[in-house]
Structure 1
Amino acid sequence: MSTDLQTLGLTAHEEELYLLLVDSPPMTRKALSLLWNHTDSESGAMLVSRLEQHGLITTLAGSPERVAAIAPDVALADLAERRIADLAEAKDRATADLRDRWVQVEHGVDARDVIEIIVGRSAIHQRVRAIEREAHQILAFDRPPYATEQMDNPLENRKLQEGCTYRSVYEGSSLEYPGQMESIRGAVGLGEQARVLWGVPMKMNVADRKMAIVPLETAPETIEVAVVVHPSALLDSLCVLFDLLWERATPFGDPNADDTTAPVTTLDREPGQAALLTLMAAGIPDKAVARQLGVTERTVQRWVRATMAEHAAHTRFQLGLRVGRGSSPVADS
């Protein structure tokens, strides 16, 4: 508790007196001074005054006057908001001052200014989150391995709701991981622009095209070393790589959304079957399609055969070509 209250800006003695009042019924200032018998500390009267300024205690009307702790859920919320505002103002002042001092010094290009080496999964995770937290646009390559079985990214979901732009290219094989399809679907629902590509070369996050973080190892089982790339020709190249693969990747739409551009079919569709072509076009395996649509793999294969028959296609490749050319299903004779 002490660490939490002091993080909110209380001194050790302010915290101790506040906890005393939380654990006690309203009392007079005289009674409080008798309980506060720290000879080596500030006077109780001074601490009470500061706790009142913090909005943690109040004086009750009546005779004699008594002091009491305000309900913690209200008082600490207000204190936290003021603390956050103070920290934001301090950050802005320090940033303005230090930025002015920094630009007055001639900073030459040094390899250490272009690339940082981050070692350790925990340190890498923290740095990725720190970069993502400050960004307005994220370009991402997503592929295995994954540090945890939890696929969704709460920070991304919050940033999307705040208006941050996310453009992500997912490795096709990653869609077979449990929870990945649901995670992408949820992010797309919040505004992420997602595409699927087989052969995504690496994990990568690019923030505002000003900074990137990528693993240093080649095809690792786990990621232990990563590099942060600052503005440079190398960063520009990574951005160009993203743009090229983005153009090659297949858009991942919401499988449950109405698709007015989908080819008209002659079959009476079963629930979920309308999403089949969208998922097939993304290169998603039958097993992952089945898991996403909540049906068996045999049902997906039956739907595929029915769709191929509609378009008089003998192979999936031929089906893709015909649908891509906008051909209509073959009417029953």
Structure 2
Amino acid sequence: MAEQWTGRFGGLGLAADQELLYLHLLGSQGLTAAGLAAAVGMGTERASAALGALADLGLVERPAPDGTVWRTTAPDVALEELLLRRELELRRTRGRITELLRTYRRTSTGADGDLVEVITGREAIADLWRSLQLGARGELRVLDKPPYIRRSDPELELASLARGVRMRVVYESQVLRDHARLAEIHRYTEAGEQARVLPELPLKLALVDDCWALLPVSSGTAEQSVLLVRPSSLLDALTGLFELYWSRAMRMPPPDSTEPPRDRHHQLLTLLAAGLTDESIARQMGVSTRTVQRWVRELMDRFGARTRFQAGIQAARADLL
């Protein structure tokens, strides 16, 4: 057989026979149906049917009335047109989701089946979260804290940001003590994520496009079940909860230790307000723990404060936070 099916055009709706014939004809040009069938190890009748389907898709030209030779059309034009057609079909299908959801709700058991669904199992939860991320079109809002189902997929979030999805994330300061995780977060913020930090968060929460919320059933150390919440007063309440914590959180400072002193003090105050330890602050700012302690003492002296908390209050009053 001259070609092997790769499935590379499966997203365009091409079946195995169609792809095999298209790829072979693309590299040969000007073959009869019988010649193509022999080249790929396929029956002539089966090859003719596949070629007819390719012609309907605009990928090949049918033989002239006085000929038997098949040829491909220009791939850039033909494939672009086919892609546009597929995108239109997908948009139409997306428009039917609401109708399908109504049918699903009518057949769901239990009064709460319409609005809240329990998802059980680590793999099922991870797959659901991945699907929600891939389906996001407007905004993702997240309260982020351990434990995690599995390590995050940076490429998935970066792809969402690249296609214009707005992302706002509030991280619990405990997360930032992991150097690898912190580097990952900085990668996200450089790509456009808006990140803030708080000493503690009450729960993990993800909001997708004002359509869904995902949160754990319990706050234990191992997540085995989550709630998928659809549009309802509960979803509105969870949205309000996120916005409340977002408004209270401190902006994540950039990973840059070469800033001028005033900016360095601002970064230091932000990290202190986020609840990070001296060791974590030193690691993030690229200095020693003793240097951090010295800077903290300088700030306390500057504001005439006897405690770090008092220094934070004075800094907020001075618009340094």
Opposite residue 10 of structure 1, the aligned amino acid is L
Residues 10 and 325 of structure 1, relative CA distance in 2, 3 Å threshold: closer
Between the aligned partners of 1:227 and 1:212, the Cα distance in structure 2 is 8
User: Do the aligned partners of 1:171 and 1:200 also contact (CA within 8 Å) in 2?
Assistant: yes
| Structure with the bigger percentage of helix | 2
Helix, strand or coil for the counterpart of 1:218? coil
- 1:236-251 residue pairs with structure 2 within 5 A? 236-251=236-251
Cα pair 1:118 1:228 within 8 Å, conserved? yes
- 1:196 Cα deviation after fit: 1.9
- Among the aligned pairs, what percent are the same residue? 31
Give the total of aligned pairs: 310
Q: State the match for 1:285 in structure 2.
A: 277
Match of 1:183 in 2: 184
CA distances 1:2-40 after superposition (whole Å, capped 9, x unpaired)? 444444322332233234446x64454377257267447
> 3-state SS of the aligned residue for 1:202?
coil
The alignment status of 1:306 with 2:310, answered yes or no, reads no
Q: Give 5+ residue unaligned stretches, structure 2.
A: none
1:200 offset after TM fit, Å? 0.9
Per-residue displacement from partner, 1:29-75 (whole Å, max 9, x unpaired)? 3772572674473354x54454455465579xxxx997666898x58
Q: Return the alpha-carbon distance in structure 1 between the equivalents of residues 138 and 182 of structure 2.
A: 25
Q: In structure 2, what residue type is equivalent to 1:249?
A: A
Q: Secondary structure at the match of 2:261?
A: coil
2:115 is aligned with 1:119: no
When residues 93 and 299 of structure 1 are mapped into structure 2, their CA distance, relative to the original with a 3 A threshold, is closer
Identify if the C-alpha distance between structure 1 residues 274 and 123 changes in structure 2 by more than 3 Å, giving closer, same or farther: same
Distance 1:242 1:26, change over 3 A: closer
Name whichever of 8-17 and 182-191 sits farther off.
182-191
2:208 is aligned with 1:207: yes
Cα deviation for residue 202 of structure 1 reads 1.5
Query: Helix, strand or coil: the match of 2:237?
Result: helix
1:30-109 pair list within 5 angstroms = 32=35, 35=38, 38-39=42-43, 41-44=45-48, 47-52=50-55, 54=57, 56=59, 78=80, 81-82=83-84, 84-92=86-94, 94-95=96-97, 98=99
In structure 2, the partner of 1:320 is 312
Q: State the TM-score, normalizing by the size of structure 1.
A: 0.72
Going from structure 1 to structure 2, the CA distance change for 1:242 and 1:293 (only over 3 Å counts) comes to same
Offset of 1:176 from its aligned partner?
0.8
Give the Cα separation in 1 of the matches to 2:172 and 2:293: 23
2:9 counterpart of 1:9: no
CA offsets 1:282-312 (integer angstroms, 9 cap, x no match): 2222222222222333332233233334344
Which shows bigger deviation, 120-129 or 300-309? Answer: 300-309
Q: CA deviation at 1:170?
A: 1.5
Rounded Cα–Cα distance in structure 1 between residues aligned with 2:305 and 2:186 = 29
Deviations 1:133-190 (A, max 9, x none): 334233321100123445x744443434444333322212111122333333344444
SS where residue 197 of structure 2 aligns? strand
Structure 1 counterpart of 2:261, which letter? R
Q: Which amino acid aligns with 2:14?
A: L
Name the SS of the counterpart of 1:242 in structure 2: helix
Residue 169 of structure 1 corresponds to 170
* Structure 1 counterpart of 2:140: 138
C-alpha RMSD of the superposition: 4.2
* Structure 1 stretches lacking a partner, 5+ long: 260-267, 329-333
Q: How many Å separate the matches in 1 of 2:37 and 2:212?
A: 59
Residue 199 of structure 1: CA displacement?
Answer: 2.6
Partner of 1:197: 198
Amino acid at match of 2:302: E
Equivalent-residue separation in structure 1 for 2:268 and 2:102 (angstroms): 59
1:29 correspondence with 2:21: no
Contact 2:140 2:168 in 1 (8 A): yes
Alpha carbons 2:136, 2:209 under 8 Å: kept: no
- Which residue type is aligned with residue 18 of structure 1? Y
Work out the CA distance in 1 between the residues paired with 2:37 and 2:182: 64
Superposed CA offset, 1:241-292 (max 9, x none): 3333334333334465999xxxxxxxx8399565222322322222222222
CA distance in 2, matches of 1:25, 1:276: 66
Aligned-partner Cα distance in 2 for 1:327–1:163: 32
Alpha-carbon distance in 2 for matches of 1:281, 1:178:
19
TM-score by length of structure 2 reads 0.74
